[in-house]
Amino acid sequence: MEIADKAVYDGTRQHAEEAALAALVSQYAGTLYRVAYSVLRNSADAEDAVQEAFLRVLRHRDMLHEVRDQRVWLIRIVWNVVLDRKRRMKTRPETDDVAELARVLPASGLNAEERAAAAQHHAHVLSCVEQLPAKERQVLMLSAFEELTSVEIASVLGITESSVRSRLFRARNLMAGLLNHERSAR
């Protein structure tokens, strides 16, 4: 009788773990894709990186209950995955076209003309982001697009919180200069 109870318990526990992992995938897949894409600049590579991140989570699912902030933990995992991939493919330039990222940004509730203007504005802002130095661009992407706090960004990047704040300050100033320069050029 005890063996049957243990089998039922194990089956229930496994089903609960699978449900928790499925919830993680559905809740954070988009966020992880955006993080991966912001570094890799390629849809297929970003999707592969997200899949690899979730495979790592699957391998370490027994630690899932110990994680305080799953979002930051998952972003840290995908960040490490994309940096590993980036190191392996050093031949690809960092300033790839951002048109695809602009295409996938949300623009719901707008008419066709407003969508076109919003897409054009998104593309313009993203092209300015592309002109930033890599360190400032990384911090800005995690802050502005993923809405991570300074503490969370420091954890993801493995740097101090004060470094995050100074990079973010520089990134915002550079962005303001780029956007103002573009406005005055029009």
> How many C-beta atoms lie closer than 10 Å to residue 146's C-beta?
18
Q: Using the 8-state DSSP alphabet, how is residue 50 labeled?
A: H
Rounded Cα–Cα distance for residues 3 and 146 (Å): 47
Fold topology of 1-92 = Rna Polymerase Sigma Factor; Chain: A (1.10.1740)
CA dist 184 and 179 (Å) reads: 9
Six token digits for residue 18: 């699978």
Task: Give the pLDDT of residue 168.
Answer: 93
Give the integer Cα–Cα distance in Å for 167 and 138: 9
The token duo for 100 is 């695809």
CB–CB of 38/86 below 8 Å?
Answer: no
- CA–CA dist 38, 46 (Å, integer): 9
Domain assignments of the chain as residue spans, ordered by start: 1-92
Averages of pLDDT over runs of 10 residues in the chain (186 residues) are: 61 70 83 87 88 86 77 88 82 47 54 73 79 90 85 90 94 88 63
Say how far apart CA 156 and CA 80 lie, in whole Å.
8
**What pLDDT was estimated at residue 93?**
46
Which pLDDT does position 11 carry in this prediction? 60
**150-153-159-162 Cα dihedral, nearest 10 degrees:** -10
pTM above 0.75, yes or no: no
The pair phi, psi for residue 131, each rounded to 5°, is: -80, -10
